[in-house]
Amino acid sequence: MSCAAVVLAAGGGRRYGMPKALVEYEGGLLVERAVATARAACDVVLVVLGAQAVDVWRTADLTGATVLANKDWETGMASSLRAGLDGLRGFPGTVDAALVTLVDMPGMTPEALRAVATHSAPGALAVATYDGVRGHPVLIGREHWAGVLETLAGDEGARRYLAAHDVTEVDCTGLADPVDLDVPPPGVPSAP
């Protein structure tokens, strides 16, 4: 079964003070780290850009990823997930499932992505859990894309859809750090 990673990296990073795709972290940009991690787990990687998309595209090494621009990024995460799923619909070949991950999780690992990706199938829904709490990545089988798209609104991804359906929970405790970077660490400036 074919699984494609969708890296959501379009947000403006309002609380962070800049787009998180452009945040430098341990010698590289967060978007580069997210794409490299996704590429280590999936052959097909789409990255959805939005805020300062041209700057990200010019600055970041996104080798091996298909870049999609979300012109509606300011409306929230829903529009980015929509752009990613729509992009997969038009992708050459058949993709059975989308493995959704976020740009602002530098502790994500290929191992956690692979653990969830092993559940890939057109009818699959799976989510990583960390100490019993749902997090990312999230796997959405092709048969669920239309339903997810119908429920997307604002700054919420597939949460409502997942809450209404049977979802396989994949324990990724210890495989990755599920913490996202909502604000700069103390002592780190928020803008370059």
Which pLDDT belongs to residue 155?
79
Which pLDDT belongs to residue 92?
65
pTM score: 0.92
Architecture of the 3-171 domain: Alpha-Beta Complex (3.90)
> What's the pLDDT tens digit per position in 108-138?
999 999 999 999 999 999 999 999 999 999 9
Task: Check pLDDT > 80 for residue 182.
Answer: no
Three-state DSSP at 23 gives coil
Q: One-letter amino acid identity for 153?
A: A
Split at pLDDT 50, 70, 90, the class of 185 is low
Which pLDDT belongs to residue 189?
52
Report, as an integer, the average pLDDT of 137-158: 91
> What's the pLDDT tens digit per position in 32-60?
999 999 999 999 999 999 999 999 999 99
- Which residue is associated with the tokens 């729509």? 86
Q: One-letter amino acid identity for 184?
A: P
Contact 103, 45 (CB under 8 A): no
DSSP state of 120: -
Cα torsion at 179, 183, 186, 189 (round to 10°)?
A: 130
> Helix 30-41 to helix 110-117 angle, to the nearest 10 degrees?
40
Which pLDDT belongs to residue 3?
94
- Parse the chain into domains and list their residue ranges: 3-171
Pick the closest to residue 127 from 160, 100, 89, 96 (CA basis).
Answer: 100
